[in-house]
Structure 1
Amino acid sequence: MRTVFRYITWTMAPHINADTPEMLHELECSSCLASSGTEADFDEARARAFSHTGSHPSHRTYREVVTRNWHMTPAEGECL
């Protein structure tokens, strides 16, 4: 049995087409790890973070978790 490996150059970009799931946003409180929940609309996640800070004024720092689909393709001129 013989195996041949060929190295090619790849490019990577956000995957955008009709079947691609939307980008999702989540804001997580750095103080208590409360989450806004996963939202397609960033403004919804942000509104939940404002509400959380309103209830807990000392909780002012958040981390954003983004889920975005990416797609790999061979570079121009490369073929599989």
Structure 2
Amino acid sequence: MTRSVFRFAQWSISQEKVAAVPQITHELECVVCHDSSGPCRGFETARDWAFRHSGLNPSHTAYRETAHRNWRATLLE
């Protein structure tokens, strides 16, 4: 027979607040071909990529945005 010990603990989760880590990045993905801008610090950079992509591929007019945020879980004592 195996015995187990479980410890119940309280955790907190909050946005990462390190200067070197961007608060949020944006990524736009073409719904037609699944090409993407990659993560960008500013939405305008991802948007500009989408404009160029649509200009080169006139039938590619639908995009999906993914916003990336960094979070940290902390064990409460």
> In the alignment, does 2:37 pair up with 1:46?
no
Task: Name structure 2 gaps, 5 residues minimum.
Answer: none
Large movers: runs of 4+ above 4 Å: none
Alpha-carbon offset, residue 15 of structure 1:
0.7
> In the alignment, does 2:46 pair up with 1:36?
no
Task: Name structure 1 gaps, 5 residues minimum.
Answer: none
Q: How many aligned residue pairs are there?
A: 74
Give the alignment's TM-score, normalised by structure 1. Answer: 0.71
Partner of 1:6: 7
CA distance in 2, matches of 1:36, 1:48: 6
Alpha-carbon offset, residue 45 of structure 1:
0.6
Q: Percent identity?
A: 43
SS of the aligned residue for 1:59 comes to coil
CA distance in 1, matches of 2:18, 2:35: 32
When the two chains are superposed, the root-mean-square deviation of aligned CA atoms in Å is 2.1
Report the AA paired with residue 5 of structure 1: F
